[in-house]
C-alpha cells in the first residue's frame, strides 16, 4: 500500500528568539528566551499530517552535520518515512533565524543550504512512492525547478497536489498554477503573486478568483484569525470559512499546520467538500498558535475532538 501524503520540500533548523518586539534595521534589543526547534515548511506540513494519522514520507535533503542527524531522528520520532531523506556534505542543513514578538508575530530569515541541492535524481528515486501516494505537497523553500517537477510527476500519476507558494516569489512560473489541485497561500503571498492587496475577506475572494483564472483547481487564501477563503473552478463563488477566536502565543508555522491537516483530510476523506476540510484544518491550526514553536505546538489526533475524524 502506498503512503497517504508525500512532501517534496524543506527541512530547517529553527533558531528562535522571543523578544518584546521585532528589532528595526541597525538596532539591538534584548530578547527573553532562545530555543532550537525543528522547522522548515515542508517538514512542518509533513509532521502535522503524520500527527493526525496520515502515513507520510518526506523527500528532502539535509547536511552531513549535527542539525541534519538530529532532523533525521526527529522524522523517525514523528513516524515520517526517511527513505528519501538525503544527506549531503556539499552544504549545511537549512536554518531559519526567527524572531517572535509578544503579539506572537514573527520575522524569519532562511538560509536554505542543503535544501537547494534536492534535485532531479532525488525525485527519480522517490518516483514510485510519489506515484503511489494520495497527496503531494510542495512549497518554495527548495529549488523551484524541483518543486515544479514533483508537481508535474504527481499530476501525471493522478496524485492530488497541494502547492503552497511560500516564501512567495513575484515571477512564479505559470505551470505552478496548472499543476496545483489546491493552491494555498496566505495574504502577503497572495498579494505578491497577484498585485492585489488583501485586507479583507472580500479581497481574498477577488485574489482567489485570479488564482483560479491562472489555472489551479481550487484556491485557498488563509487569513490568520479570520480563517480562510475557499473557491474552486467547479464552485467559483468564494466561501469564507471562519475560525474560532483564540489567544495566539506563537503563530510561526500555523499555515503549515493548516496545510498538513488539509493534506490529511484530502488523503483520508477524498469525498469531503473542500470547505469542510478547510474548516477542520482551521481547528488544527488554531491549536498550533496557542503553543510555542512550530512542530512542538502541533496537535496529535488524540488531542483533537474525535468529531473531526
Q: Which residues are identified as catalytic?
A: 256
110 near ligand RIB, judged by CB under 6 A: yes
Residues 289-308 that bind Na ion (CB under 5 A): 291, 297
E strand spans, 9-55: 12-18, 33-39
What does the block give as the cell for 64? 552531513
Partner from Na ion, ligand RIB, none binding residue 288, C-beta < 5-8 Å depending on class: Na ion
- Give the nearer residue to ligand RIB in terms of CB position, either 108 or 248: 108
Residues paired with residue 88 on neighbouring β-strands, in sequence order: 63
Partner from ligand RIB, Na ion, none binding residue 108, C-beta < 5-8 Å depending on class: ligand RIB
288 near Na ion, judged by CB under 5 A: yes
- Give the nearer residue to ligand RIB in terms of CB position, either 153 or 263: 263
How many residues of this chain bind Na ion (CB under 5 A)?
A: 4
- Give the nearer residue to ligand RIB in terms of CB position, either 15 or 129: 15
CA distance 105 to 252: 7
253 near ligand RIB, judged by CB under 6 A: yes
Determine the interface stretch with ligand RIB among 54-62, 149-157, 251-259, 265-273 (rule: CB under 6 A): 251-259
Determine the interface stretch with Na ion among 56-64, 230-238, 248-256, 264-272 (rule: CB under 5 A): 248-256
Partner from Na ion, ligand RIB, none binding residue 189, C-beta < 5-8 Å depending on class: none
Determine the interface stretch with ligand RIB among 38-46, 51-59, 123-131, 154-162 (rule: CB under 6 A): 38-46
Partner from ligand RIB, Na ion, none binding residue 250, C-beta < 5-8 Å depending on class: Na ion
Sign for the CA dihedral angle at 240, 242, 247, 252 comes to negative
Residues 152-191 that bind Na ion (CB under 5 A): none
Residue from 4, 189, 250, 256 that binds Na ion (CB under 5 A)? Answer: 250
Q: CB of 101 within 8 A of CB of 126?
A: no
DSSP string, 70-121: HHHHHHHHTT-B-TTEEEESSSPPPEEEEEE-TTS-EEEEEE-GGGGG--HH
CA distance 59 to 201: 35
Task: State which H helix or E strand residue 238 sits in.
Answer: strand 235-241
CA distance 239 to 205: 8
Name the minimum Å distance from CB 305 to ligand RIB: 25
- Count Cβ atoms below 10 Å from residue 117 Cβ, excluding itself: 18
CA distance 180 to 219: 9
CA distance 277 to 259: 10
Name the minimum Å distance from CB 204 to ligand RIB: 19
- Name which of 197, 205, 56 is nearest 134 in CA terms: 56
Q: Where does this chain bind ligand RIB (CB under 6 A)? A: 12, 14, 39-41, 44, 96, 108, 110, 141, 252-253, 255-256, 294
Amino acid at each position: 500500500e502506498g503512503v497517504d501524503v508525500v512532501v517534496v520540500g524543506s527541512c530547517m533548523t529553527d533558531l528562535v528568539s522571543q523578544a518584546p518586539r521585532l528589532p528595526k534595521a541597525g538596532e539591538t534589543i534584548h530578547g527573553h528566551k532562545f530555543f532550537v526547534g525543528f522547522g522548515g515548511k515542508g517538514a512542518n506540513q509533513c509532521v502535522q499530517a503524520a500527527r493526525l494519522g496520515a502515513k507520510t514520507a518526506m523527500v528532502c535533503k539535509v547536511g552531513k552535520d549535527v542539525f541534519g542527524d538530529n532532523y533525521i531522528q526527529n522524522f523517525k520520532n514523528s513516524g515520517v518515512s526517511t527513505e528519501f531523506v538525503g544527506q549531503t556534505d556539499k552544504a549545511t542543513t537549512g536554518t531559519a533565524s526567527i524572531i517572535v514578538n509578544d503579539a506572537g508575530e514573527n520575522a524569519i530569515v532562511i538560509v536554505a543550504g542543503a535544501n537547494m541541492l534536492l534535485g532531479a535524481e532525488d525525485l527519480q528515486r522517490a518516483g514510485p512512492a510519489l506515484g503511489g501516494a494520495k497527496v503531494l505537497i510542495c512549497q518554495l523553500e527548495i529549488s523551484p525547478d524541483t518543486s515544479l517537477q514533483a508537481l508535474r510527476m504527481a499530476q501525471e500519476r493522478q496524485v492530488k497536489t497541494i502547492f503552497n507558494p511560500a516564501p512567495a516569489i513575484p515571477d512564479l512560473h505559470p505551470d505552478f498554477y496548472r499543476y496545483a489541485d489546491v493552491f494555498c497561500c496566505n495574504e502577503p503571498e497572495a498579494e505578491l503573486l497577484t498585485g492585489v492587496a488583501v485586507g479583507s475577506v472580500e479581497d481574498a475572494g477577488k485574489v482567489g478568483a485570479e488564482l483560479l483564472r491562472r489555472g489551479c483547481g481550487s484556491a485557498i487564501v488563509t487569513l490568520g484569525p479570520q480563517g480562510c477563503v475557499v473557491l474552486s473552478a467547479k464552485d467559483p463563488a468564494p466561501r469564507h470559512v471562519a475560525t474560532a477566536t483564540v489567544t495566539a502565543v506563537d503563530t510561526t508555522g500555523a499555515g503549515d499546520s493548516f496545510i498538513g491537516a488539509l493534506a490529511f483530510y484530502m488523503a483520508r476523506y477524498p469525498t469531503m467538500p473542500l470547505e469542510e476540510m478547510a474548516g477542520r484544518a482551521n481547528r488544527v491550526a488554531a491549536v498550533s498558535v496557542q503553543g510555542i514553536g512550530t512542530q512542538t505546538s502541533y496537535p496529535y489526533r488524540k488531542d483533537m475532538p474525535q468529531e473531526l475524524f
